[in-house]
Amino acid sequence: MPMPQEEDWQTIAQDFSVQWNFPNCLGAIDGKHVVIQAPPKSGSLFYNYKGTYSIVLLGVVDANYCFRVINVGAYGRGSDGGTLRDSAFGRALEAGTLKIPPDACLPGAEHLGPLPYAFVADEAFPLRRHLLRPYPGKNLQRCKRIFNYRLSRARLVVENAFGILASRFRMYHRVMGQHPHNVEACVKATCVLHNLLRRNKTTHPSAPVMDGPNCSMQGITRQGTNNSSREAVHVRETYTSFFSSVHGEVPWQHLVS
């Protein structure tokens, strides 16, 4: 699973624009808890908010449900935002060494100026220049509700990828009694095999797929940091304007907003 280069990121962004109507998107990020038996003398390191013991699979998924970057082995007690921050991928994202393509204008919206390519995530993650999260709260303006829907629609590919992974490899449906290092190896192996099966066009009858006007923001309850830069806030506001414009809207977004 080599780290994507600039050309790879551009291909991923093109796929997200065509398939999920979200331009300049480099991937969807989320974390999955892999349940394990509590290792001896580990205290609460692996104890998560769900009341189980786990290690975390942090995944960056492309528009075709393939894992492009993974980080496996973080303690279950940590937050998704903290796991991203402490991972090699998160440090590279913060340092600007991921070879992300230069800023580009959104299609048909050159008047808005160039915008950075960005990853999409839920409220457990911080808002950054290259990382978009939804607006918090319920009583939002209509344009913000539309943005949240559009971001959720693109972000659901990572949840779908986790669902497909778990439906194919039944180890995710039970408590794993191996040493955490062995569990890490198993998780990495299943992610690589998952990609091979996806790229060979292998389908699975129980694979969940969520798309279209029935997508919603259900399940987003975790809260991340609100310490966002002005530039990151401006990027999100520009996307908000774009998705409510003639050039950026999709016909069914008005049914769910």
| pLDDT single digits (tens) 35-54 | 999 988 888 889 998 899 99
User: 201 near 237, Cβ under 8 Å?
Assistant: no
Give the pLDDT confidence score for residue 221 in this predicted structure. Answer: 37
pLDDT score at 220: 35
The answer to whether 89 and 59 are in contact (CB under 8 A) is: no
* Mean pLDDT to the nearest integer, 18-45: 93
Pick the more confident residue, 240 or 202.
240
pLDDT of residue 78 exceeding 80 = yes
Q: Rounded distance, CA 106 to CA 118, Å?
A: 12
Name which of 141-150, 208-217, 221-230 the model is least confident about. Answer: 208-217
pLDDT at 81 over 60: yes
Among candidate residues 106, 109, 143, the one with its CA nearest the CA of residue 24: 106
- pLDDT for residue 200: 85
pLDDT given for residue 139 in this prediction: 85
180 contacts 73 by C-beta, under 8 angstroms:
yes
Question: Which pLDDT belongs to residue 257?
Answer: 55
Q: Single out the residue of 18, 5, 6, 37 nearest to residue 183, CA to CA.
A: 37
pTM given for the model: 0.85
Give the span between the Cα atoms of 253 and 103, in whole angstroms: 26
**β 118-120/67-75 pair status:** unpaired
Q: What pLDDT band is residue 228 in, cutting at 50, 70 and 90?
A: low
Dist. CA 189–CA 215, nearest whole Å: 30
- The reported pLDDT for the residue numbered 217 is 33
Q: What's the pLDDT score for residue 253?
A: 77
| For residue 212, pLDDT beyond 50 | no
Per cent of the chain over pLDDT 70 is 88
Q: Answer yes or no: is pLDDT of 210 > 60.
A: no
**Per-residue pLDDT tens digits for 92-150:** 999 989 999 999 999 988 888 899 999 999 999 999 999 999 999 888 899 999 999 99
Give the pLDDT band of residue 222 (cuts 50, 70, 90): very low
pLDDT band at 226 (very low <50, low <70, confident <90, very high): very low
pLDDT of residue 137: 86
pLDDT of residue 249: 85
User: Which residues sit opposite 53 in a β-bridge?
Assistant: 47
